[in-house]
Amino acid sequence: MDNFTFYAPTYFAFGKDTERETGKYVKRFGGTRVLIHYGGGSVIRSGLLDRVKESLEAEQIGYVELGGVKPNPRSGLVYEGIALCREEKVDFILAVGGGSTIDSAKAIAAGVSYDGDFWDYYQGKVVEQAVPIGTVLTISAAGSEGSPDSVITKEEGMYKRAATGEALRPRFTIMNPALTQTLPAYQTACGITDIMAHLYERYLTNTKEVECTDRMIEALLLTMIHEGPRAIAEPDNYEARANIMWAGMMAHNNSCGVGRTQDWTSHSIEHELSALYDCAHGAGLAVVMPAVFTYNLQHDVMRFAQAAVRVWGCQMDFGNPQRTAVEGIEALRSFLISIGMPKNFAELGAREEDIEKLAHTACYGDVEAGTTGGFVPLGQKDVEAVYRLML
């Protein structure tokens, strides 16, 4: 295990009706004037936004609102939010929604405290200062509710990039699993896929002797395999939703990723797809993951075989571990298809003729790295080959 530090000070309030306490938590964490940030309207339709506002009013906390965050959130609204917060002297940002809303709120929070262009943070500058944020989560997926990361798409060039920094971790997060019961099955499945991807990105490591975090990841993957189909078949199943919600947070607050190198190839390759085609991040990952794993299989056959045996219940073939490893990847692929995820480029709405451009942006983008991925650094030609496996 590698050396590490871990500090994840988000305060979680989990369970039924917890959103009614939002105002109390804003007050506890020092907010006196709030920006309420939300998406395309699901929180209005469900009545959640009204409940959150009531809880702020009950604590005499003033607020302004900025809705309209789109899935795969864009830089334009971030600039608008930064200007609004400065004008209104906002000292706390409350994201009510999913990963896109939370990420947009984080970008605004970082931008308000910074004299330069907030996009600097999405080109490698670490966020060290930000306006405090809190979240009321409505979808189990991105894990942004407990993570120090934010992913934004810059409209100019359609670069989808991530920023990170401990200052971005939410001060508090309200998690009421019942709020996710209104999700369409497709969005639930996208979330399940994303959560599983966050686990795989950490599982694919070059660090030896990481049994504790390996086992934690396996437990969370098994939870998703058990609870995911239940939540899709019975959208109102509170217990299934609750288990998925907590698993989704733990999959990405990095408690499972400490002390080990991580991969993130699938995310990098997927981000190009959701930037260009505006597909759901989870749907993109469903197509990307089996292809990346197949391409990288030879790098560490035993790691894939271990996942196959421990997570997917495959029988270890000691004479031919590669057969077991492939069986595990195929089990993942079948599972994702069974919950309604797309299986190839065409179903995702992606085009073969874009492959070169996609691979180039994944490896170079607006930061000249040249490769992507931590498990096996892939160059542009490799990434093109991975995209071809998705056809």
Shortest Å distance, C-beta 141 to Zn ion: 7
3-state secondary structure (DSSP) of residue 316: coil
What does the alpha-carbon distance between residue 82 and residue 147 come to, in Å, rounded to a whole number?
21
Q: 309 or 386: whose CB is closer to Zn ion?
A: 386
Strands (E), the chain: 11-14, 33-38, 62-66, 92-97, 133-137, 149-154, 159-164, 172-175
103 binds, among ligand NZQ, Zn ion, none (CB under 5 to 8 A by kind): ligand NZQ
138 binds, among Zn ion, ligand NZQ, none (CB under 5 to 8 A by kind): ligand NZQ
Q: 82 or 139: whose CB is closer to ligand NZQ?
A: 139
Q: 55 or 306: whose CB is closer to ligand NZQ?
A: 55
Beta bridge partners of 37: 66, 95
3-state secondary structure 343-377: CCHHHHCCCHHHHHHHHHHHHCCCCCCCCECCCCC
Single-letter residue type at 269: I
What does the alpha-carbon distance between residue 346 and residue 314 come to, in Å, rounded to a whole number?
30
Shortest Å distance, C-beta 25 to ligand NZQ: 20
List of residues contacting ligand NZQ (CB under 6 A): 39-43, 71-72, 97-101, 103, 138-139, 141-144, 147, 149-151, 179-180, 182-183, 187, 190-191, 194, 252, 267, 281
CA angle 204, 11, 268 (to 5 degrees): 30
Q: 271 or 333: whose CB is closer to ligand NZQ?
A: 271
Shortest Å distance, C-beta 225 to ligand NZQ: 19
Neighbouring residues of 205: CB distance < 8 A, sequence distance ≥ 6: 260, 261, 262, 263, 303, 375
- Contact between 263 and Zn ion (CB under 5 A)? no
248 binds, among Zn ion, ligand NZQ, none (CB under 5 to 8 A by kind): none
| Near Zn ion in 166-205, by CB under 5 A | 194
Shortest Å distance, C-beta 73 to ligand NZQ: 6
CA distances from 123 to 62, 81, 219, 313, 385 (A): 34, 20, 34, 41, 26
Q: 270 or 327: whose CB is closer to ligand NZQ?
A: 270
Shortest Å distance, C-beta 49 to ligand NZQ: 10
Torsions phi, psi of 319, nearest 5? -75, -25
Q: Residue with the closest Cβ to Zn ion?
A: 194
Residues that bind Zn ion (CB under 5 A): 194
